[in-house]
Structure 1
């Protein structure tokens, strides 16, 4: 049977990335409390296509993914990319996994347990033999406006915010650790279950720790700088302002090499 994809192309244009995207796929990721956690990822896989190849073999992406036994971790991502390089005769390979991850959090006073959703992304590249992996966590947190607190006789406006933390690591780091860093730097954490005594505690904690988005992004940067496992980080904080008709944001990116 004629292999059209393998035919030579004479237009002399290499394609930076060609592959599959928007693939829903069951995966298993490492969970600090339970060993592993099952979730469903939105997956993109791609390779660099040489200028003299007409096309790639799309079905091979699915075949290779299916051979990974569903587990996607810091430790086996490079092997996945090596298989893509070999089976698709490519110098570069890329993988992008985006998925919801759930962490059980305990309410601060009652101890009520509830699951919090965090959005996680693994983006990996293998260029020749050079491997690169970025781990990204988006965490819901709370910010309370320092200016509002300062000028108001009673109360201050507060709101949910999202802290997006992307890191390159030289050694393993739990997803839960990134979530804990986000909580510790915010005005207060966000919980899925709060009793009245918990709401009081969380409200008072936020009031005692006012944060602009600028404050939060700087506190997160300090935490990244202190962690020897992190070699590069990018942080973006978006505050969904409760009394303004806009969001507020701040971002920073640094390499520690």
Structure 2
């Protein structure tokens, strides 16, 4: 077969390095390891990128997909760390960046009747590796919660307004932390956690639980941050809460980020 011209390896004279170049929006089936040792099947949206020195015209896009397929479909923190290193080798790069974003499901029993229902949470793994061996791993989860307004409870003779919110929680760690444990940490910080299936006794329970545990959006992020500070393996975090207000035409928002040491 006649050798084809490698245009990507041609020299570029504009003297402009590129921070990240690669592929994104790639859908890929994965098996995610659970804390209990089992696996669940999911579909991840994947982004793969490397840096490009100023003298190269382009990168070889097919090699990203080759590396992904060679990596296999079982996903956990330890196996994820090997994929950026493979990109560094295949593309002769100095930095590589990998993102896997996927829905993660937990079976949660209703709080009184115990009826099981599946809850879905957003999870993202981000890994950045450098040729000198440095690896940066960030896990991000999105957890829906319920909050009840302390001010509304204090000033009202009957009831208090409550709303659903989303907590976006990112961590770096010394030792890997299970996604299930991060979800539980966030849910304990709200007025009440959410369930997919509630019968009447369960609905009574969650309504009263939220009423007995009012939190502002400020309380929510502080609760998550305080629990993060007490966790031995979490070395950095960013916690962002957005409440979809039930009596306003806007969201309430707060964020806390721990500085990197």
Fold equivalence (TM over 0.5): yes
Partner of 1:186: 190
1:240 has 2:244 as partner? yes
In the alignment, what sits opposite 2:233? Answer: 229
1:112 matched residue in structure 2: 115
**1:48 maps onto 2:51 in alignment:** yes
Q: How many residues align?
A: 257
Tell me if 1:204 matches 2:208: yes
Q: Give the structure-1-normalised TM-score.
A: 0.98
- The CA deviation at 1:34 is 5.3
For 1:162 and 1:150, locate their aligned partners in 2 and report how far apart those are by CA, in whole Å: 24
Say yes or no: does 1:149 pair with 2:149. no
CA RMSD of aligned residues (A): 1.0
Using the size of structure 2 for normalisation, the TM-score is 0.96
Establish whether residue 85 from structure 1 lines up as the match of residue 88 from structure 2. Answer: yes
Contact 1:225/1:256, CA 8 A, preserved across alignment: no
* CA displacement at 1:255 relative to structure 2: 3.4
Correspondences of 1:24-63 after superposition (within 5 Å): 24-33=27-36, 35-63=38-66
* Counterpart-to-counterpart distance in 2, 1:77 and 1:120: 14
Q: Which runs of 5+ in 2 are unaligned?
A: none
| Equivalent position to 1:251, from 248, 252, 255 | 255
User: How far apart are the structure 2 equivalents of 1:78 and 1:6?
Assistant: 27
- Name structure 1 gaps, 5 residues minimum: none
Q: List per-residue Cα deviations over 1:101-149 (Å, max 9, x = no partner).
A: 1011111100010000100001110123110010000000000000000
Q: CA contact under 8 A between 1:32 and 1:176: conserved in structure 2? A: yes
CA distance in 2, matches of 1:212, 1:65: 43
State the secondary structure of the residue aligned to 1:9: coil
1:33 is paired with a residue whose SS is coil
Find the aligned partners of 1:187 and 1:127 in 2 and give their Cα distance: 42
Where does structure 1 differ by over 3 angstroms across 4 or more consecutive aligned residues? none
Deviations 1:137-190 (A, max 9, x none): 000000000000001000000011111110001101111101111111100010
CA distance in 2, matches of 1:162, 1:36: 26
Q: How many angstroms apart in 2 are the aligned matches of 1:106 and 1:25? A: 30
Partner residue in 2 for 1:162: 166
Instruction: State the match for 2:140 in structure 1.
Output: 136
Deviation at 1:83, TM superposition (A): 0.7
